[in-house]
Amino acid sequence: MPGFRATSLSILRVARRIGGKPHEGRLIAGALVLPCALGRSGVTHDKREGDGATPAGRWRLLRFYLRKPTPLRMPWRLTRRDDIWCDDATSFLYNRPLRAPSRLSHEEIWRQDRLYDVVGVIDYNIIPRVRGRGSAIFFHVAAEELGATAGCVALRARDMARLTPRLGRKAIIVVA
């Protein structure tokens, strides 16, 4: 692309779209402004498991799970069919990656709807973990119509493909 400079993005700002529905947001990454999907309940400063809200704050993007190799400067690994994420607030394994099978309540990382073809783990309630304060808060691919998530931040596949190669190793996502 003429005039395109491959710079590393370190700060992603996410805000609710003014005048929109609670789950309608925008993600600002350098000169890119992309529509994004948020939790069905919008953004909250008091996140609880199952509330459908995206937690407000400043969070690191820790690593990515990818269905297929993608240009990415951040830590990543290929998703396996048995990758799951514990969302069982009664378990000491709460908000941690696990391998299936498991009797614990969990989120499947290998999804048939392809929304987790690219999924970044957001550093929310990871260290320290507080049971019941929310789990499996991811940065992932959205449905084309940008429907509400359960609390994650999501971009259309084409926008995720534009953004991920530009992410710096220590990218931060700021949700306001």
**Residue 155: how many other CB atoms lie within 10 Å:** 25
Phi, psi (deg, nearest 5) at residue 24? -90, 120
Residue ranges making up the domain that contains 32: 9-175
Within a domain: 3: no
Helix (H) or strand (E) holding 86: strand 83-86
Q: How many domains does the chain have?
A: 1
Within a domain: 94: yes
CA dihedral angle for residue 119, residue 111, residue 176, residue 163, rounded to 10 degrees: 40
For residue 16, the model assigns a pLDDT of 86
111/91 Cα distance (integer angstroms):
23
Within a domain: 1: no
35/15 Cα distance (integer angstroms):
10
Here the CATH number for the domain that contains residue 61 is: 2.40.440
Within a domain: 113: yes
pTM of the model: 0.93
Over its length of 176 residues, how does the chain's per-residue pLDDT go in tens digits? 344 445 678 999 999 887 889 999 999 999 999 999 999 999 999 999 999 999 999 999 999 999 999 999 999 999 999 999 999 999 999 999 999 999 999 999 999 999 999 999 999 999 999 999 999 999 999 999 999 999 999 999 999 999 999 999 999 999 99
For residue 9, the model assigns a pLDDT of 86
Within a domain: 83: yes
